[in-house]
Structure 1
Amino acid sequence: MNEQAARKVELMRAIETADTKHEILSEDDRLYASRSARELANWQAAEGKGAPALELFLQQRADLVTKRLAERTPAFASFLHRRPLMPAFAVLLPILGFLAGAGLDRIADPHRVDLLSAPLLLIIGWNLLVYLALIVWAVIPSKRTGWASPSLLRRLSVGAAGLPRKLPAPMAAGLTQYIADWSQLAAKLTSLRLGRTVHLAAAAFALGAIASLYARGVTTAYAAGWESTFLDAQQVHTLLSALFAPALAVFPLQGFSLADIQALRFVQEPSPAGGARWVHLYAATLLLFVVLPRLVLAIVSALRARLIARRFPLDLGQPYYRALADRIGASGPAVLRVIPYSFTVDESRHKGLAAIAAKVLGEQAQLMLRPSSPYGEEPKDTLRDARLDDADVAVTAVLFNLAATPERENHGAFLDYLARNTPRGIAVLLDESSLAERGAGQAGFDARLEERASLWRQFCQYHGTTATVVDLLHPDKYPLDVGAGLATSRLS
């Protein structure tokens, strides 16, 4: 699935997940989109004598869903036509870089070539420092995608954060979630494109400086020389020999001796001879130290970005996609793994969990119920035999009793351990069945129940997860939209 298709599929997921009450997409709308997309996927599978392609099904379904929403809501149509800032930024920044380099009149005096030109040395020194930082960044592991801030990457990947007016509330919530999710999903791709653009701009800046040198030399007779309060001719010769050694080794340029350097020292009037030689050395040095390395880095970033854009890494193992895949038989049964914490699951509640798995992951979903983890024990001991990175598990859910009071050193430590060691993240189920049985019929019970649920939600949010309240004795009490799935923590 390429980047554009993944963007639309992710947009569809965000909207459908937010529209839990089917206010903007009715059940008929969803069934029609699924049926039409499934027919096309099955037709192409029959042509190729293979299984239905989930990616094609999702792309076609996303096209149908977004098209229908755009027809009904003009504000959503305007959002669809919104373009990220990256394409325009990728064109403008190199142009501005070239113009800035071309306007840098003080690489030398308008009428002289300064052998110790501060702008030249700064350009080369800065680029060498950048290369060193890139090497360090590549060697030292980091969770960051680059030097750019998340807000800059978001604006470049999805544009402005503001939404069009007159959007239905569920759609506005879905688009807000889409902006947050896509910014995170596309962060690496946008970072590579930004790096490519910055490298091109740096190369363009150096090319602009070279062009400025030669253009001014057409109408001006450069006089070459140098002056320094603290350096003598020998030290200047050593410095320039090291600086221009690569250019002299690669290009057939005229070299210089210590006597040449001594003769070019500015005393009263600069020498009118030899300016062209130093212009060529400056240009060749900028070419070798700045232009060519930056172009190579830009090409590498562009190729890496192209690979990601052509095969965008969208995790189709998420509950939402697994539930849709179940409708076309594009994958095997999805597995919901439930890890109870200080919670004994009896037969009735086990059936409730199975019903929730079917609602969330499709009718063919399977339930994997692990033994309850004892209260207060170390998670690494109770879960030593659990394969938390099992690729066959679509969702790992921690099951808590809503009647319990969350404790950071016990419940929180358990959540933190699972979040660190479960690649796809975790979900949290809060079972209210036992609490509801004890408080049924009591005055003000509903308010106390909501207060306890709110406490747990805040607690889980603090630990990077999202909690879902369920009643395992009455699994249909709370709607869990098929395809919406359970909210899971995202690991950065």
Structure 2
Amino acid sequence: MNEQIARDVVLVRAIETADEKREVLSEDDRMYASRSARELAQWQASGKQAEATSDDFLQQRSEQIIKRITERTPAFGVFARRRNGLKTLARTLPILALLLGAGLDRITDPHRVDLLSAPLLLIIAWNLLVYLGLFIWLFIPSHPLGWPRSSMVRYLSVGKLSLPRKLPHALSSGLLSFMGEWAHLSAKLTSARLSRTIHLSAALFAIGAVISLYARGFLSQYEAGWESTFLGASQVHGLLSFLFAPAISLFHLQGFSLAEIEALRFPQTTAAEGGARWVHLYASTIFLLVVLPRVVLALISNWRASRLTQHFPLDLDQPYFRKLNDSIGVATQGMLRVLPYSFTVDEQRHKGLGQIATMLFGEQGRVMLRPSTSYGEEAQDVLRGTDLNDAQVNITAVLFNLTATPEKENHGAFLDYLVQSSTRGIAVLLDESSYLERAGEQADQSARLAERIALWQQFCQFHKTTATLVNLLDPSLHPLDAGVGLKLSVAT
């Protein structure tokens, strides 16, 4: 599916997930949207003489739900039509760069071509450093650059970070969740678009500087020369020979000798007719070392952005999508992998995990129970050889006992390792069955249970995960919504 369809689908999922009490979308609304979308998807498929696909179904369903919410809450329509902040940046930054480059002559002598022109040399040197940094970064792709900041990425991905007023609480929560999730999902696309804009702007800045250089030459007569406190004629000759060698070789431009460089040293008398040669040398060098590479990099970024726009990488193996796809007969087996931490799972609770897998994936759901990690064990030692990104596993969930007290050095370290190592997301199951057995009929049981759950939820949020409360002895006490499933978290 393309970017726009994926955006609508993720938006609808975030709203349905947040709307647990069915305040925004009733159960009838959801069933009607699924039924209508199924019929439209099948009708479209029959016209193409093909089978109905999940992409067509999800597209139709998301469009209907967005339309329904917009009719009821017009303020939501403003958010749904909101576009990211990259379009404005992509239009203004290149134009601004061209104008700034063209105004570069304001800080130089309008009647002189300086052989050691600081602005022109800085343009070349800065771009060469950028190329070196990009080359080095090819070998360390797993380390984040630290720029742009997450708030900037979110703005560039979803536009304004503020929400319209007078929205239902559940809808506001869903939109906030969507903004964070979409910023993460579209990070690669945003990065490609931002890179395209930056490379194009750098090329236009250099073009503007060259244009201003030639434009001044038509209106005034250049005098070429150089001066330096620390460099001698031989050093300047060596530097310029190295710098201009590609342009001289490729474009067959006139070279220069050491004697010529010595003769052009200020304040000695210089030949005015020599200025054009140095303009051509600088212009050709900037074209070869700045404009051409930046245009190539911009084209590569544009290709990446176009590919991601047309084929947005949305993981349809998640429970939310699997449950919806079941309604059009696109059911596949789902696997729930459970990693217990300091938790011995007996036979009855093992059956409870099987019921949870069925809730998530339907009758095709299966559970893979791994050996329990002992308290204090290092995750990298216990999980050595375990592929946390196994394509055969749909959800990897950590299982904690509600009776335990969460500790940063143990439970937190275990979660941090999983979140950082998995690209498919990590879920957290928080089993209350043992806690309820111990609490018995105590008068303050409900209040203490709520406090314990809140403690674990805050702890998991701190470690970039979200806890889902379950009861393995009676999973029906906390049924997982067929349209939502477990909440997954991935490191950003």
Output the TM-score relative to the length of structure 2.
0.93
Q: Assess, with a 3 A threshold, how the Cα gap between structure 1 residues 191 and 31 changes in structure 2: closer, same or farther.
A: same
Instruction: Specify the alignment match of 1:11 in structure 2.
Output: 11
* Contact 1:338–1:398 (8 Å) recurs in 2: yes
Instruction: Specify the alignment match of 2:82 in structure 1.
Output: 82
Instruction: Specify the alignment match of 2:426 in structure 1.
Output: 426
Instruction: Specify the alignment match of 1:307 in structure 2.
Output: 307
What residue identity is the alignment partner of 2:61?
R
Q: Assess, with a 3 A threshold, how the Cα gap between structure 1 residues 326 and 456 changes in structure 2: closer, same or farther.
A: same
Could you list the per-position Cα deviations for residues 113-163 of structure 1 after superposition, in whole angstroms to 9, with x for gaps in the alignment?
Answer: 111111111111111111111111112233326742222222111111111
User: Hey, what's the Cα distance between the residues in 1 that align with 2:236 and 2:368?
Assistant: 75
User: Hey, what's the Cα distance between the residues in 2 that align with 1:265 and 1:40?
Assistant: 79
Instruction: Specify the alignment match of 2:365 in structure 1.
Output: 365
Which structure 2 residues correspond to residues 220-239 of structure 1 after superposition, within 5 A? 220-239=220-239
Could you list the per-position Cα deviations for residues 52-71 of structure 1 after superposition, in whole angstroms to 9, with x for gaps in the alignment?
Answer: 31111111111111111111
What residue identity is the alignment partner of 1:84?
N
Which structure 2 residues correspond to residues 353-392 of structure 1 after superposition, within 5 A? 353-370=353-370, 372-375=372-375, 388-392=388-392
1:430 Cα deviation from its structure 2 partner: 1.7
Q: Secondary structure at the match of 2:338?
A: strand
Q: Secondary structure at the match of 1:339?
A: strand
Could you list the per-position Cα deviations for residues 24-75 of structure 1 after superposition, in whole angstroms to 9, with x for gaps in the alignment?
Answer: 0111111111111112223344455554311111111111111111111111
Instruction: Specify the alignment match of 1:140 in structure 2.
Output: 140
User: Hey, what's the Cα distance between the residues in 1 that align with 2:154 and 2:72?
Assistant: 28
User: Hey, what's the Cα distance between the residues in 2 that align with 1:101 and 1:251?
Assistant: 24
* Contact 1:326–1:363 (8 Å) recurs in 2: no
Instruction: Specify the alignment match of 1:263 in structure 2.
Output: 263
Output the TM-score relative to the length of structure 1.
0.93
Q: Assess, with a 3 A threshold, how the Cα gap between structure 1 residues 139 and 351 changes in structure 2: closer, same or farther.
A: closer
Instruction: Specify the alignment match of 1:214 in structure 2.
Output: 214
Q: Secondary structure at the match of 1:476?
A: helix
Q: Secondary structure at the match of 1:464?
A: coil
1:374 Cα deviation from its structure 2 partner: 4.9
Q: Assess, with a 3 A threshold, how the Cα gap between structure 1 residues 370 and 92 changes in structure 2: closer, same or farther.
A: same
User: Hey, what's the Cα distance between the residues in 1 that align with 2:388 and 2:400?
Assistant: 18
Instruction: Specify the alignment match of 2:452 in structure 1.
Output: 452
User: Hey, what's the Cα distance between the residues in 2 that align with 1:431 and 1:180?
Assistant: 27
Q: Secondary structure at the match of 2:256?
A: coil
Which structure 2 residues correspond to residues 469-484 of structure 1 after superposition, within 5 A? 469-484=469-484
What residue identity is the alignment partner of 1:170?
A
Instruction: Specify the alignment match of 2:156 in structure 1.
Output: 156
Q: Assess, with a 3 A threshold, how the Cα gap between structure 1 residues 31 and 143 changes in structure 2: closer, same or farther.
A: farther
Instruction: Specify the alignment match of 2:183 in structure 1.
Output: 183
Q: Assess, with a 3 A threshold, how the Cα gap between structure 1 residues 438 and 415 changes in structure 2: closer, same or farther.
A: same
Q: Assess, with a 3 A threshold, how the Cα gap between structure 1 residues 147 and 383 changes in structure 2: closer, same or farther.
A: closer
What residue identity is the alignment partner of 1:180?
G
What residue identity is the alignment partner of 1:35?
R
Q: Secondary structure at the match of 1:397?
A: strand
User: Hey, what's the Cα distance between the residues in 2 that align with 1:472 and 1:222?
Assistant: 85
What residue identity is the alignment partner of 1:55?
D
Q: Assess, with a 3 A threshold, how the Cα gap between structure 1 residues 411 and 281 changes in structure 2: closer, same or farther.
A: closer
Q: CA RMSD in A?
A: 2.4
* Contact 1:107–1:117 (8 Å) recurs in 2: no
What residue identity is the alignment partner of 1:79?
F
* Contact 2:339–2:373 (8 Å) recurs in 1: yes
Q: Secondary structure at the match of 2:327?
A: helix
User: Hey, what's the Cα distance between the residues in 2 that align with 1:132 and 1:325?
Assistant: 47
Q: Assess, with a 3 A threshold, how the Cα gap between structure 1 residues 146 and 60 changes in structure 2: closer, same or farther.
A: farther
Q: What percent of counterpart residues are identical? A: 62
Q: Secondary structure at the match of 1:113?
A: strand
Q: Secondary structure at the match of 1:356?
A: helix
1:465 Cα deviation from its structure 2 partner: 2.2
**Greater shift in the superposed pair: 175-184 or 322-331:** 322-331
User: Hey, what's the Cα distance between the residues in 1 that align with 2:371 and 2:42?
Assistant: 40
Which structure 2 residues correspond to residues 462-473 of structure 1 after superposition, within 5 A? 462-473=462-473
What residue identity is the alignment partner of 1:276?
A
What residue identity is the alignment partner of 2:300?
V
1:182 Cα deviation from its structure 2 partner: 0.8
User: Hey, what's the Cα distance between the residues in 1 that align with 2:262 and 2:418?
Assistant: 71
Q: Assess, with a 3 A threshold, how the Cα gap between structure 1 residues 414 and 130 changes in structure 2: closer, same or farther.
A: closer
Q: Assess, with a 3 A threshold, how the Cα gap between structure 1 residues 269 and 35 changes in structure 2: closer, same or farther.
A: same
Q: Assess, with a 3 A threshold, how the Cα gap between structure 1 residues 383 and 132 changes in structure 2: closer, same or farther.
A: closer
User: Hey, what's the Cα distance between the residues in 1 that align with 2:295 and 2:346?
Assistant: 65
Could you list the per-position Cα deviations for residues 302-361 of structure 1 after superposition, in whole angstroms to 9, with x for gaps in the alignment?
Answer: 111111111111111122112212222224122223333444445554444333333333
* Contact 1:326–1:364 (8 Å) recurs in 2: no
Instruction: Specify the alignment match of 1:56 in structure 2.
Output: 56
Which structure 2 residues correspond to residues 271-282 of structure 1 after superposition, within 5 A? 271-282=271-282
**Greater shift in the superposed pair: 162-171 or 47-56:** 47-56
Give ranges in structure 2 of 5+ residues lacking alignment. Answer: none
User: Hey, what's the Cα distance between the residues in 2 that align with 1:483 and 1:145?
Assistant: 36
* Contact 1:115–1:225 (8 Å) recurs in 2: yes
User: Hey, what's the Cα distance between the residues in 2 that align with 1:227 and 1:389?
Assistant: 61
What residue identity is the alignment partner of 2:246?
P
Q: Secondary structure at the match of 1:32?
A: helix
Which structure 2 residues correspond to residues 395-434 of structure 1 after superposition, within 5 A? 395-434=395-434
Could you list the per-position Cα deviations for residues 418-452 of structure 1 after superposition, in whole angstroms to 9, with x for gaps in the alignment?
Answer: 44554423222222223223334321111111122
Instruction: Specify the alignment match of 1:327 in structure 2.
Output: 327
User: Hey, what's the Cα distance between the residues in 2 that align with 1:426 and 1:336?
Assistant: 11
Tell me whether 1:199 sits opposite 2:199 in the alignment.
yes
1:193 Cα deviation from its structure 2 partner: 1.0
What is the aligned residue count?
Answer: 492
User: Hey, what's the Cα distance between the residues in 2 that align with 1:423 and 1:210?
Assistant: 46
User: Hey, what's the Cα distance between the residues in 2 that align with 1:341 and 1:16?
Assistant: 30
1:382 Cα deviation from its structure 2 partner: 5.8
Instruction: Specify the alignment match of 1:296 in structure 2.
Output: 296
